[in-house]
Amino acid sequence: MEYKERKPVLWLGDSRKQVQSFPQPVRQDIGAALYDVQLGITPPLAKSLKGVGSGVFEIVTRFDTNTYRTVYAVQLGKHVYVLHAFQKKSPTGQKTAKKDLELIERRYKEAMQLAKENRS
């Protein structure tokens, strides 16, 4: 197997704090999935998040009847940017709440700016 250099993870806003507040099994799933992402592998728990930007994915984890989501961007330079992490509580079924989408969009713009600054 070929050695791949891991991309560093940059946590935006309170995303790291949010993940740390999740139950242990959820944190383990997210950690394993992000490790795959660092190696350039799309993890099985990840799916594309449409409508935000190219290369934005969400890791969807279920535990104890709850759903947890961790949104990250990978096609922005040399890092994996974790944009947002939250327990999904949307009353509208599968749709992500508007406030969460707005936060993700703001942090995606921040990540694009950081990637632009770090391209040296």
Averaged confidence pLDDT in the chain: 88
CA–CA dist 43, 68 (Å, integer): 15
CATH classification of the domain holding 55: 3.30.2310.20
- Residue 1 vs residues 4, 13, 39: alpha-carbon distances, Å: 9, 35, 12
Stronger pLDDT, 69 or 92, i.e. the higher one: 69
How many structural domains does the chain have?
1
Residue 75: the pLDDT is 78
Quickly state the pLDDT bin for 52 (edges 50, 70, 90): confident
- Find the length of the chain: 120
Look at residue 2 and tell me if it is in a domain.
Answer: no
Tell me which residue range forms the domain holding 89.
9-117
Q: What angle do CA 11, 95, 71 make, to 5 degrees?
A: 15
Residues above pLDDT 90, as percent of the chain: 62
Look at residue 1 and tell me if it is in a domain.
Answer: no
Look at residue 67 and tell me if it is in a domain.
Answer: yes
Residue 93: the pLDDT is 62
**90 has pLDDT over 60:** no
